[in-house]
Structure 1
């Protein structure tokens, strides 16, 4: 028996050596700090471990991704509304310049891939047969980029390098090639490294490999080596920042330091983390664990490390423990599991976040989401203060899912929105493992994780291997998890639809409200204690179950938040007979959902306009932090200056669509009453329907929508005036809007029509903004509007050249009736878009206006406008103007200084300060949308 075991073991060793031979990389490099370059001679021994004959070999050359604005990395930054690489200085760029490539010591032909400058294809003179190897020799230099782009490169303390060397792509069902997109997800094989680097004596080198050094005159020679390694990180430092911490089994090198913790306590914390990971994954096989701050900061514990120092709701040890546990577990998994994270990131992220969940459950089960401030006398009344730290995972998922902005977990990482890639998809993947744990049982999932990890570490693996391992350890159906939970963004949403009393039991009907059938957990509670817990797996529409009568206070679905759910507000049923199934709860400002309450919120509301003065009021609404489909708001207020009661209200219902090109349809009605002139108020009532279309992808920032509304306006008039039809009117408005807020080429256009008893009109507003190759801004706008018919009197409904009349009351004018003073100088670019006040200000037939500006220096621009206005019984009027525009924040804060127009030289005329126009807005939604670009 022992002989047979020995023979089997020997065969496995021989088979491993024959059929999965290890690549080797040898590098000799010299760091030239004067020119910020690495001079490299590299040898790659590449083994064809596939069963396919290869005619060429692809190499990842990510150091070349910083060479200019046409690389995939630069284009990716533009999508993220980052232009620092696109407009960077020459000295900040980085590149890889190939001097020579040879195969088996013969010069070879190679090329950069088109539009993928960081990938090389090297052609083989003779095909490489399976299980054979070739020697690839490369001589090249790497210009080190500024670290401001990705965190890797030249910094104030030296150089921090990652993805700095050329490495072979993996051949697995074809070549797995990928460009650098700042995702830190290079798919590379484990390799045996032998590296020699010469550096100036004043630099200290720390790396993710084992190393020793020797001195030679003004140089230090570092020899780095390691087997079964990947992703070699180098840190050259003028002032050493890395420290070594020793645990019972491992040495951890890191520059992530918590100064408040002494060395012994830090080592105890790190040792506990390693021990915990060993219990889930088996003994660590990595001898040196290297955690660098640059990498750690790109994968933080969200909600923990983003808070400023003066807000410190968590203990120093808790913050450091979670920060390092996440960094160590992520680094270890990435080093040992060879998974194509670009395609199957969910497996690594899910496993890592599941480990985070389990770690917090074990060592910090009572830590609240808000930390110590949860006990604050004010905050402890809020439901959010009662949430445990781990409840942030379903909370953040639901925040996104309720807006239908989540994406399936099989979406490639480079197609995810930044919010999903950095947070939501990771959380959903981790919750997926937690879901499996609850459904299958702790032992089955944890055993499967251990078996999968130990059976696949240092091997190229994929999600199918994990699925097969899980299937071996359970008889339960798990196809729903891989097909629906991972493969779609369908939302789990079940409710207790009906409860009927019978003699000795309750007949409970559970309803599936959406289009996914998945296991759900059903609970019976008595005095907030779980008395019944049962899983149901086959509810595709409805299912009726019976429970004993009188044994439970509440019946609940998903009570422990085991799985992420679209809506948990309707998961509760109180068995006590009350007028309302759930009592009402009034909360100041906002809170997270309270499933066992009907929530209403109230909050102070402050506004301002010139006629009402400071407006103080209270807003009552039903909108928690997570969106609801049906929303209402009522805001009564008192104006201090006018001493009038005023306010607004709105009712809105959002209907989302999953299978069509429509994203959502919003139905609503809104109304308001405020002052529009001294001692004169207006009332508006606006029923509306908005149709918003889906974006091509969630990385696409464009928006496209149609808006239809009826505007009813009733205005007070002075007792000395007679009320006319322009003081009480109804207008039907229909508009189409397209917005592409690209940071280099922004395009917006709007087509609108209006119909009323006395007039009808149509208009188009086209806007284009471009940054040239020298970072000069060019801004163009065309407005064209014409009346289809016009029986109105005066210019109240006419097109405005320098200031729209805003008879729809939709523009945020602070002094809409002012003809002088600072509020008359407020400028909102609409209709004519002129800044100067010309003799002809309105058009009651048609108007064509062209507005343009060109950047001079930073936010200083020169603007130039021309316009054609036609009024009844008058000649065509031609208007023109130019001046200086200070464009501090586009369409949010701008200042215009007129220079020359139809009026002559404006700057030489009297009262020039009154001619200056200003754009300023207190619209928080506009400001928020400006700064969130590229994230959602």
Structure 2
């Protein structure tokens, strides 16, 4: 292969850049494209459409010659059932867009692309109708520039599917115009529009001219150019809103109050206005329009430059009682994000109240749209989070589709820090704290950050979590929230605890200053953090960002030598990361000391003191999968056992207590009548390896103790073909039917019913899936059933026609069944199905054993949203049976109550008539 001198120089330059860690990130090998937009758009609020004309100056700063340009036509994501958006929503369990009528869908058309005034060939991507490719008439040389122009027509979808849309005459105008894909050192980044997975766009300047009826208010990216009349009108609205809130104080959601809950749309003005917005150093433009908004305005002084930034909120009557403090939320968000990362570079920040399907809020440069919140804290959290995206997405323009943690995760880290700073005593249950949810359920010790932690544990303990550094579209629906948002926030909070707040702030400021208005990659952030802290952060990036390593440190023992403590610590998970130990005195921490990580087991020294206990990670900074082994008491017999907590109903897992849950229960069947009892269990969220439930019941009919119990143990092997191995042992005892005594004569019954006893042992293997997004579950189940019957009448005297007779009859028919089953389930949103293949071998007392095989398949034909046709197929055969006539309970039948494995609850198991006799299982 012949390599040109030019190519060789490029390769050598890349090698030098990779090996020389000290090279400045602003070196000449970094480049990015530049765009200058001019868009003139007119809203038709009768037809719910836009008509627009767009010109884009495309400046090629790359070293390459471009022969084509990819363009995003994201409104086409709503056009039909073939789009990536529809497919992803189906994967996530949402059918609404798939079944949407034509009238409720949206699209973009009327395109006529020209380059420098000349028509060019363009074609839709063969797989994605929301991507097109412009083939240039002549190559665009490095350093060259072209003008791309096109008219376009947009039909709004209903605003219930994703980010673009309208609800009545409230408009969310986002991802709405033809937009070039990013071209960077890794090539083109054309991508279809998705819900789960955001964006990556080129920086540039926008001049957008919006024409719409005069009585619409607009919240938009950019500064309003000219527009004195509009600005004065908004200032008047501000005064009206202040008066409105003053007069409506305490009357939230009171329909008798003037204006409250007035959500109908006023008629549109017959005259129109044109608003001109301009913004530089942004990579998107969003705008929102509504005629019903109230308006508030404020300003905030930035912490470093002391420059003033205007803040606006625009909201309807629906939650006006919450939005009245919206300016405070905006100001605090702008201030704290500037304090910790770098000053906000734009002139204003705006939040608008709008119909939104894409969660609680969605961010765009300078402006964010907020959905229904429900309470003030939720509103503040969403406003703050979305305003924060001006830093992590807006100013620091990472590739959200490929590295979602760099915006959502870092933003959630700052979100948690904001809450801990402004509300240091904020609990997980927050303002909704009351007797039931707080003290009664023992939730008072959980703080806001625990919501991230518990979400992370949900899948981490089951080894179903995914790396933080992962493509957004490849996350499972759950992991997109618990990993991208929650786990990333946790690990960066951990890093800050280890480094110290000031060191972390300095590093994040350096990241901001170096990469603002650019496209940082994960390695760029790592380089900045390591340079600014002077530390090798391989433990952090390799284990916690790029991997799924679990953390679990345990104090084995602690010895007081007088001058210090010698603490033996085991690295249970064997992940080499830093950890801290604190001394605990009267429930407070002291002498917190950080140690570098190690493998397996080691001894560390800790400062002497009169401690009640020593504890790993007192401040809950380390996302360990098990915190129940972190405490070692300095006195007493049970140094590693936490205090016992008998908790009614349930709670969340509290590592500082040994929790046992209980609840009163009552059951009933025809033979035992009412059965009051107690359920005792340790089941909790998140799942534990060892789980148990005991449920003793007392029969008011037989005056005997009945009930059930189950003990389960879970293994979650790392890298094995099985995602989960579960061993379960359980048993039950209930009355089975009236005790007929044929040996004493026809129609003779004992005083008490026959009791059926079951012991079930099962070993289950859940196969690991290659994709976390699949709805397929494959299980292999090995199950053993032992069923036997007891007669409490033995020894009793039963009156018969011929006289009293002592009962010495023991019921017969005890049996065992062994089953091997393979269960395949595909829980896809459309046309879900499952099938089970099983083989059973069983024996009734001393009779010959039998062997039978069966296949069951279920398929649902989805033909309308929420409706389907269920089809069931069954086939079975005895492979071996030496009975002249097989025991009826084991025989195949079309229907009946032959639950011979006692897996189901029957109110009258032996009844053959009446309502109780009508119960059956398939």
1:583-608 superposed Cα distances (whole Å, 9 cap, x missing partner): 43322222233334322222223444
2:457 to 377, 398, 401: 398
Aligned residues: 807
User: Shift in Å at residue 437 of structure 1?
Assistant: 1.1
Maintained 8 Å contact 2:777/2:825: yes
Match of 2:220 in 1: 207
Q: Structure 2 vs 1, CA of residues 379 and 102 (structure 1 numbering), >3 Å: closer, same or farther?
A: closer
User: Shift in Å at residue 207 of structure 1?
Assistant: 2.2
Q: Secondary structure at the match of 1:116?
A: coil
User: Shift in Å at residue 268 of structure 1?
Assistant: 4.0
Match of 2:275 in 1: 222
- For 2:693 and 2:833, the matched residues in 1 are separated by 33
1:38-91 superposed Cα distances (whole Å, 9 cap, x missing partner): 222211111122222211101111111011111101111111111111111111
Q: Structure 2 vs 1, CA of residues 130 and 113 (structure 1 numbering), >3 Å: closer, same or farther?
A: same
Maintained 8 Å contact 1:452/1:466: yes
Q: Secondary structure at the match of 2:407?
A: helix
Maintained 8 Å contact 2:462/2:724: no
Match of 2:624 in 1: 565
Q: Is it true that 1:693 corresponds to 2:767 in the alignment?
A: yes
User: Shift in Å at residue 121 of structure 1?
Assistant: 1.0
Q: Is it true that 1:602 corresponds to 2:655 in the alignment?
A: no
- For 2:164 and 2:515, the matched residues in 1 are separated by 30
TM-score when scaled to structure 1? 0.80
- For 1:567 and 1:597, the matched residues in 2 are separated by 13
Q: Structure 2 vs 1, CA of residues 436 and 622 (structure 1 numbering), >3 Å: closer, same or farther?
A: same
- For 1:347 and 1:752, the matched residues in 2 are separated by 48
Maintained 8 Å contact 2:340/2:508: yes
1:491-525 superposed Cα distances (whole Å, 9 cap, x missing partner): 11111124456686654221111242111112232
Q: Is it true that 1:740 corresponds to 2:826 in the alignment?
A: yes
Match of 1:231 in 2: 284
Larger displacement relative to structure 2 (345-354 or 487-496): 345-354
1:836-915 residue pairs with structure 2 within 5 A? Answer: none
Q: Secondary structure at the match of 2:427?
A: coil
1:402-424 superposed Cα distances (whole Å, 9 cap, x missing partner): 23232110121111122221244
Larger displacement relative to structure 2 (769-778 or 286-295): 769-778
1:806 to 889, 896, 899: 899
Maintained 8 Å contact 2:330/2:387: no
1:630 to 664, 667, 690: 690
- For 2:514 and 2:725, the matched residues in 1 are separated by 50
Q: Secondary structure at the match of 2:832?
A: strand
Match of 1:586 in 2: 646
- For 2:156 and 2:602, the matched residues in 1 are separated by 63
User: Shift in Å at residue 326 of structure 1?
Assistant: 1.8
2:727 to 667, 673, 676: 667
Larger displacement relative to structure 2 (511-520 or 700-709): 511-520
Q: Structure 2 vs 1, CA of residues 825 and 198 (structure 1 numbering), >3 Å: closer, same or farther?
A: farther
- For 2:169 and 2:809, the matched residues in 1 are separated by 74
Maintained 8 Å contact 1:512/1:542: yes
- For 1:503 and 1:29, the matched residues in 2 are separated by 78
Q: Structure 2 vs 1, CA of residues 98 and 803 (structure 1 numbering), >3 Å: closer, same or farther?
A: farther
Q: Secondary structure at the match of 1:800?
A: coil
1:148 to 152, 160, 175: 160
- For 2:84 and 2:371, the matched residues in 1 are separated by 29
Larger displacement relative to structure 2 (67-76 or 91-100): 91-100
TM-align CA RMSD: 3.2
- For 2:649 and 2:372, the matched residues in 1 are separated by 21
- For 2:361 and 2:49, the matched residues in 1 are separated by 34
Match of 1:915 in 2: none
- For 1:465 and 1:336, the matched residues in 2 are separated by 15
Match of 2:909 in 1: 816
Match of 1:730 in 2: 816
1:783 to 852, 874, 885: 874
Maintained 8 Å contact 2:889/2:900: yes
- For 1:708 and 1:596, the matched residues in 2 are separated by 37
- For 1:321 and 1:220, the matched residues in 2 are separated by 33
- For 2:398 and 2:278, the matched residues in 1 are separated by 23
Match of 1:8 in 2: none
Gaps of 5+ in 1: 1-11, 831-936
- For 1:637 and 1:99, the matched residues in 2 are separated by 73
User: Shift in Å at residue 354 of structure 1?
Assistant: 2.1
User: Shift in Å at residue 221 of structure 1?
Assistant: 2.6
1:260 to 309, 318, 321: 321
Match of 2:714 in 1: 654
Match of 2:890 in 1: 797
Match of 1:458 in 2: 517
Q: Secondary structure at the match of 1:41?
A: strand
Q: Structure 2 vs 1, CA of residues 99 and 796 (structure 1 numbering), >3 Å: closer, same or farther?
A: same
Q: Is it true that 1:278 corresponds to 2:338 in the alignment?
A: yes
Q: Structure 2 vs 1, CA of residues 714 and 15 (structure 1 numbering), >3 Å: closer, same or farther?
A: closer
1:415-443 superposed Cα distances (whole Å, 9 cap, x missing partner): 11222212443111111211111212222
Q: Structure 2 vs 1, CA of residues 53 and 605 (structure 1 numbering), >3 Å: closer, same or farther?
A: farther
TM-score when scaled to structure 2? 0.82
Q: Is it true that 1:188 corresponds to 2:201 in the alignment?
A: yes
User: Shift in Å at residue 20 of structure 1?
Assistant: 5.5
Gaps of 5+ in 2: 1-23, 231-268, 302-307, 363-369, 739-752, 799-806, 844-848
Match of 1:41 in 2: 53
Q: Secondary structure at the match of 1:333?
A: coil
Larger displacement relative to structure 2 (505-514 or 494-503): 494-503
- For 2:589 and 2:335, the matched residues in 1 are separated by 32
Maintained 8 Å contact 1:206/1:236: yes
Q: Secondary structure at the match of 1:187?
A: coil
Larger displacement relative to structure 2 (178-187 or 629-638): 178-187
Match of 2:191 in 1: 178
Maintained 8 Å contact 2:570/2:601: yes
Match of 1:198 in 2: 211
- For 1:671 and 1:765, the matched residues in 2 are separated by 26
Q: Secondary structure at the match of 2:392?
A: helix
- For 2:604 and 2:769, the matched residues in 1 are separated by 42
Q: Secondary structure at the match of 1:735?
A: strand
